[in-house]
Structure 1
Amino acid sequence: MNDVIIIGGSFAGLAAALQLGRARRKVTVLDTGLPRNRFAGHSHGLLGHDHKPPLEILAEARRQLARYPTVRLVTARAESISGAIDDFCVLTGDGESLRARRLILSYGVVDQMPDVPGYAENWGTSIVPCPYCDGFEVAGQHWGLVWSGPQSMNQVRLFHDWTDTLTVFANGHDIPPDIQADLARRGISVVNGRITEIDHDENHNATVRLNAGPPVAVDILFAHPRNKPSARLHESLGLATVDTPQGVALKVDERRETSVPGIYAAGDLANPLMASVTLAISHGATAGISAQQSMLV
């Protein structure tokens, strides 16, 4: 029997595996090889790995985990989970049945791309979600923001640390008059109409085409599409969730334990505040240590 099965082997899952491997706990990591940030050319803001391709960072992490004999990395999807604390059973897509005393869910989320030509194709290059991840490289340039609701005003205030030139695309949203007045006071133009297409050139500039009016070109376009967990295992387990502006996240305590004893969660799946590689690693390490300490006798 495993001490811990980790479902999802990106930054959070591998960070948990590292802590457990160093504690000589028997761990199996199940992963499908599709991390959320695989579309990004570089990962930024991660100490010691700034401006490295995220897939290269993950590959190096897997190589480093090879020195821990109790850690097993398996390319497989977890299809179902049954059992309870000290005796969980995970059935993989390959038909393998695995047992463990604890579980860590770190299978992340997937972004739900709107049905707009060019949106999915440009995601991670000329369309990005996070100024902490990509803002420095385009600081001082013309930014665009696709309005997604009241929370977008927080983005407007945040963006001021990187640029003074911002265009907001209402994209069919009825922006309240008081917010429109605040945007005007800040010198931010608002473009009405729905986005119908997004083009880009070799410099990753985004040209936003609308159902009314001329196209508008910006140097980078920030957008926050809704997302959803990349698997539904938490639903079958009845785990508590919290609502976020972009979707749902698993509810966890300070030890990263979910509402079901013995099941922990980390990464974007359980972070309602901010998607971040740094936070994913931190929360993954916490989940791994908490799971290990919960098994002490």
Structure 2
Amino acid sequence: MDEARDSDNSFDVVVVGGGAAGLAGALTLVRARRSVLVIDSGSPRNAPAAHMHGYLGQDGESPAALLARGRAEVTGYGGEVRPGTALAADRLPDGGFLVHCGDGRTVRALRLLIATGLVDELPAVPGLGARWGRDVLHCPYCHGWEVRDQPVAVLADGPLAVHQAQLWRQWSERTTLLAHTWPLTAGDRELLAALGVRVVEGEVTGLAVQDDRLTGVTLAGGTVVECRALVVAPRFTARSGVLTSLGLPTVVVERDGSAIGTCVESDPATGATVLDGVWVAGNVTSPQEKVPGTAAQGVRAAMAVNADLIEAESRRALRTLRARADA
């Protein structure tokens, strides 16, 4: 631990990513009396959403407010949070790491906790990005209650479409599946008919918006299909730059034999990667996890990091003791 505190730019642990996973991990580590730096790019995945739901004690809270409180808690215990982007990292001869930041600065760390999250890559329909997290949605557990009983349309452009229609019907019986570009099987159509989900043929070419509210989607022929929420299945692409710079590859995440994104594999209990000294937490390793789950992963990973540092310190203490005894 003393080695990591030789300069203001050296830390026991550098946490890359200032979302729920990274801050929860950092808070656990600073309370364990570790020197911790959080490098926060300020671009959390859920930034477009005004509220988050399903987080016990925090339901309806603004994601931005949660992260602001988290940063204050980390710094209140002596941790440091710096705005910036970590671009890459190198393994040092002593087993630690040198992290290269976008502003040209470098920082040293004995251990790394990477919680950089992912990027939601949206289907190629004009207008989706501007309404993402507002009335263009993907998770019913996050947003379903807010659009309950309203007309909901599911965009079929991948293997999750029928599954999404099944899910969203739980919140609204006025659920329509837009066939768009995905070929539905006879079995798909039979299931949707049994559930009362209407299927509309035709490619979606745009959104209909009035008074800054989604009112429907426009099909290639000009027909407008009414909806108050449009459900899409983004591709979940891991923000893995620092990890790949260390030689940790991403793997393809599949659903029903089709790729839905990428992630970095880790031990599900601790977040440990195959590279000694590097842990991951949150959506970078678990693409479909919600905010409470990512925070829990950050805590578990931080506990594992601290345990690993304790083991290393104990080995050093034993070597020192034995060296003195042999002198």
The 1:160–1:113 alpha-carbon spacing in structure 2 relative to 1, beyond 3 Å, is: closer
3-state DSSP of counterpart to 1:205: strand
- The amino acid that maps onto 2:271 is R
3-state DSSP of counterpart to 2:76: coil
Select which of 58, 61, 70 maps to 2:70: 61
Q: Which residue is equivalent to 1:222?
A: 231
Select which of 240, 262, 287 maps to 2:301: 287
1:1-297 mapped onto 2 (5 Å cutoff): 1=4, 2-69=11-78, 71-83=79-91, 86-202=95-211, 204-212=213-221, 214-244=223-253, 245-253=259-267, 254-272=269-287, 274-296=288-310, 297=314
Moved more, 130-139 or 201-210: 201-210
Contact 2:244–2:250 (8 Å) recurs in 1: no
Displacement of 1:161 after TM fit? 2.4
- The amino acid that maps onto 2:294 is A
Distance 1:160 1:207 in 2: 18
Contact 1:11–1:281 (8 Å) recurs in 2: yes
Contact 2:122–2:233 (8 Å) recurs in 1: no
Displacement of 1:213 after TM fit? 5.3
- The amino acid that maps onto 1:259 is V
3-state DSSP of counterpart to 2:46: helix
Q: Which 4+ stretches in 1 moved above 4 angstroms?
A: none
Displacement of 1:227 after TM fit? 3.0
Displacement of 1:230 after TM fit? 3.1
Moved more, 99-108 or 239-248: 239-248
Cα displacement string for residues 202-232 of structure 1 (whole angstroms, at most 9, x for unaligned residues): 3733411111351101121111121322352
Distance 1:155 1:247 in 2: 17
Contact 2:50–2:62 (8 Å) recurs in 1: yes
Distance 2:112 2:43 in 1: 20
The 1:270–1:206 alpha-carbon spacing in structure 2 relative to 1, beyond 3 Å, is: farther
Gaps of 5+ in 2: 5-10, 254-258, 315-327
3-state DSSP of counterpart to 2:193: helix
Contact 1:240–1:259 (8 Å) recurs in 2: no
Displacement of 1:188 after TM fit? 1.1
Displacement of 1:156 after TM fit? 2.4
Instruction: Give RMSD over aligned pairs.
Output: 1.7
Contact 2:45–2:119 (8 Å) recurs in 1: yes
Distance 2:203 2:107 in 1: 49
Q: Which has the higher contact order (CA 8 A, sep 6+)?
A: 1
3-state DSSP of counterpart to 2:47: helix
Distance 1:115 1:157 in 2: 23
Distance 1:163 1:78 in 2: 42
Contact 2:15–2:112 (8 Å) recurs in 1: yes
3-state DSSP of counterpart to 1:38: coil
TM-score normalised over the length of structure 1: 0.94
Q: Which residue is equivalent to 2:8?
A: none
- The amino acid that maps onto 2:21 is A
Give the number of aligned pairs.
295
